[in-house]
Chain A
């Protein structure tokens, strides 16, 4: 049987040029982007749980308000880097529930954004 799309609850805000990844606990995290009331880049993040109860809940905000940035989840961490105008990078520790700044910035700043993938 062909797969079909099913609507989920709405996020707390509209978002575009955000990043998404699946955390080790299976939740779908959506980070930053634009599309809120002011359309400025956002710090806020949220996660979708899909089990008996389907709902979004907030995640702690990033340190930098990023859009068009690289994002990858691996083994209990979400790694994010760059975005338009940012050279910095951060890691979200799923156990600590905290964003940590990483020690080395990207070598370049981009004004056009970037994407990433985990090899």
Chain B
């Protein structure tokens, strides 16, 4: 058994508060002690609609998911979300990588989203449009993003970092 996990007897699943809006294909990450859920596809009547909606759950006891201001950069689904821990932001910030916009476009955009306001600030584009990529923050703070769908399926990977480290 993994040394950092509890013993098998104490491992269990516990239900958590429900989302405000049922959705699929959203981006999700933990930021500033909360879980942020960003964009995705929601059902309206009989139609699936890409949403710019954002909601978050704080880790406070008894907390529920609450709606946050929607993305100023518009609807997005199947993007990757990477937490940006900054002290001067009330609800934290998230880097939103790639995804689709619901109009059949494969986005290469990178948006810095301020969760308290929904304001998106455009950052340097990915080298590829990437819907459904994998992404993570490296231990040195750089951001890595791999795979996804562009015109075809991608095996490529790329790293966002300071120019002097961009080996």
Contacts and interface: CB of A to CB of B under 8 A. Distances in A.
B157 A76 contact: no
B55 to A, nearest CB: 13
A61 B156 CA distance: 20
Interface of B: 1-5, 8, 11-13, 15, 24-30, 33, 35, 59, 123-127, 131-140, 142, 144, 146-149, 152-164, 166-167
A33 B134 contact: yes
23 contacts: A3-B160, A5-B159, A7-B127, A8-B158, A8-B159, A9-B157, A11-B156, A14-B153, A15-B155, A16-B149, A18-B132, A18-B134, A22-B137, A26-B139, A35-B154, A35-B155, A48-B157, A50-B138, A74-B4, A76-B2, A115-B26, A115-B27, A117-B35
A116 B144 contact: no
Contact of B136 (A20, A35, A115): A20
Contacts of A4: 124, 160-161, 163, 166
A19 B136 CA distance: 9
